[in-house]
Amino acid sequence: MNATIHTLPVPTSVRARVPITLTRAAGRRAELVTFHDLPDGEEHLACLVPAAPGDRAPLVRLHSECLTGDVLGSERCDCGPQLDEAMRLIAAEGGAVLYLRQEGRGIGLYNKLDTYVLQEHVDTFTANRMIGRGDDERDYTAAAAMLRALGLTRIRLLTNNPDKVRELRAHGIEVAEVVPTGTHLTAENARYLAAKAELGGHTLALLQEAAV
């Protein structure tokens, strides 16, 4: 008779800690952290700024990669200003930005750019479905594993996305507080932000006020 062998997943661990200086955040010192055995095999990165000792849980942002917004400064989305905001807050009070390689809500860069063309006519989620992909293909298993490897199991999470909160909690990370990100509205991203609020369940409470 053949015995079934069950193998336990290898826990994610820290691979290297690389010191850097954040010129865009008043020269604060930070560490870039890489990992062994991330569950999805992607090269996710953590940027850690040490927090002053105290009772407050450290501030953490899970930031999904957006080359067009983060690097090129495209105004089609709010990713660039959200990343700037997160880096500014974390440089000021300590904490971590996890930069997750989940471009285009997990569908990749070229697919995202294909959906931009379709978004002349339909919202961001429908456009994903029109190319045969899910509305949002991200999951935060790797992010939870990174946080555990960093010893950050009780955090304040900077987000308007309830999926991030729900999933981290389901993975055993204590989200002591949800800190909303700002609403970074531009003429070009207004329809995208409205879709996130109305169809994606994001808590973008300022949107209606800001849009009128």
Query: Site residues (CB under 5 A) for Zn ion?
Result: 66, 69, 77, 79
138 is catalytic: yes
For the chain, how many helices (H) and strands (E)? 7, 7
Residue 103 partner contact from Zn ion, ligand GTP, none using kind-dependent CB cut-offs of 5 to 8 Å: ligand GTP
The distance of closest approach from Cβ of residue 83 to Zn ion in the complex, given in angstroms and rounded to an integer, is 9
The distance of closest approach from Cβ of residue 144 to ligand GTP in the complex, given in angstroms and rounded to an integer, is 15
Residue 160 partner contact from Zn ion, ligand GTP, none using kind-dependent CB cut-offs of 5 to 8 Å: ligand GTP
Residue 80, Ramachandran bin (φ over 0: left; ψ between -120 and 50: alpha; else beta): alpha
One-letter-per-residue 3-state SS of 154-202: EEEEECCCHHHHHHHHHCCCEEEEEECCCCCCCCCCHHHHHHHHHCCCC
> Residue 184, interface with ligand GTP (CB under 6 A)?
no
37, 136, 154, 156: which is the annotated catalytic residue? 136
Q: Which helix (H) or strand (E) holds 28?
A: strand 28-36
Q: Which helix (H) or strand (E) holds 85?
A: helix 79-93
> Residue 160, interface with ligand GTP (CB under 6 A)?
yes
Give the separation between CA 21 and CA 67, rounded to whole angstroms.
22
Question: Whose CA is closest to 143, among 115, 125, 160, 168?
Answer: 168
Tokens of 209: 């006020």
The distance of closest approach from Cβ of residue 27 to ligand GTP in the complex, given in angstroms and rounded to an integer, is 26
With CB under 6 A as the contact rule, the residue among 152, 161, 185, 193 that binds ligand GTP is 161
**Burial (0-12, 13-18, 19+ Cβ within 10 Å), 90:** buried
> Residue 128, interface with ligand GTP (CB under 6 A)?
yes
Q: Return the residues of window 1-60 that contact ligand GTP according to CB under 6 A.
A: none
The distance of closest approach from Cβ of residue 56 to Zn ion in the complex, given in angstroms and rounded to an integer, is 29
Tokens of 50: 């040490």
123 is catalytic: no
Select 39 or 180, whichever has its Cβ closest to Zn ion: 180
Instruction: Provide the binding-site residues for ligand GTP, judged by CB under 6 A.
Output: 63-66, 77, 79, 82, 102-105, 107, 112, 115, 124, 128, 159-161, 164, 181, 192, 202
- Annotated active-site positions, please? 136, 138
